[in-house]
Amino acid sequence: MRLAAQARQWVKRREHPLARALYALATGARTASLPCVRAIHGPLYAADRAARGALGASLRALWTTPLFQARLEAPAARLYLYGGMPYVSGPVRISLGPDCRMSGAVTISGRSGASEPELRVGANCDIGWRTTIAVGRKVVIGHKVRIAGCAFLAGYPGHPTNARDRAAGLPDTEDQIGDIVIEDDCWLATGVTVLAGVRIGRGAIIGAGSVVTKDVPPFTLAAGAPARHIKSLP
């Protein structure tokens, strides 16, 4: 292993003609491909996309959607899952309203405790790619809410603040968790984090990358870390 690593470094340094030749051979092999002939590869690309789309639609209709519906409190009308099946961990009750769209890369977790955590989502909501919803006690998402990719609704942290307790593997404490409420018509842009105990008022917009640490009034544009009022919305 050590000799192989030394040989790779010798080739990368390219201080010897043989090393330069080997480096050129390796980089050429790494980027080698058949030449693109548009008359041939254009239709092949279209056929590949169509085949992948048909396979994905079949898996969604026949496998991932019915399986995920079985995990809900009740089947959600016209649920559209794309890109796989959301990952659910912990004892969380999930209810979705009709006409929701959810990425298969969404993660939903429920905090283990005395009462069963609950995630309640209204009608006509979008929950985007790689969004994580950590339900401490309750997360309520209203109707017509748009949550972009990589958002984090942090209803519980998962670890205690005391370093010794963390090292011992103890769970977070009751004072660290809180409900999250996102009222109707809100839009959370990409990468928004909402902390426990926060309510976002109706029609509010949260700018990309923001960290919401306190309540946001209705019809407000808020952004920043921590998020602050930018302007009022009509």
Q: Residues 109-163: pLDDT tens digits? A: 999 876 789 999 999 999 999 999 999 999 999 999 999 999 999 999 999 999 9
Q: What is the pLDDT of residue 211?
A: 98
> How does pLDDT run across 81-101, given as a tens digit for each residue?
999 999 999 999 999 999 999
User: 49 pLDDT band (50/70/90 cuts)?
Assistant: very high
**pLDDT for position 8:** 87
The percent of residues above 70 in pLDDT, for the chain, comes to 99
Task: Name 162's Cβ contacts closer than 8 Å, sequence gap at least 6.
Answer: none
The whole-number pLDDT of residue 88 equals 97
Q: Which residues pair with 95 in a beta bridge?
A: 120
* Mean pLDDT, rounded, of the chain: 95
State yes or no: pLDDT of 228 exceeds 70. Answer: yes
At 8-27, the pLDDT tens digits run 888 888 888 998 888 888 88
Other Cβ atoms less than 10 A from the Cβ of 151: the count is 24
Which residues 6+ apart lie within 8 Å of 231 measured at CB? Answer: 220, 221
Cα–Cα dist 206/213, whole Å: 12
Q: What is the pLDDT of residue 98?
A: 98
Tokens of 109: 């977790």
Summarised one tens digit per residue, pLDDT across range 67-86 is: 999 999 999 999 999 999 99
| Helix pair 2-13, 17-31: axis angle to 10 deg | 90
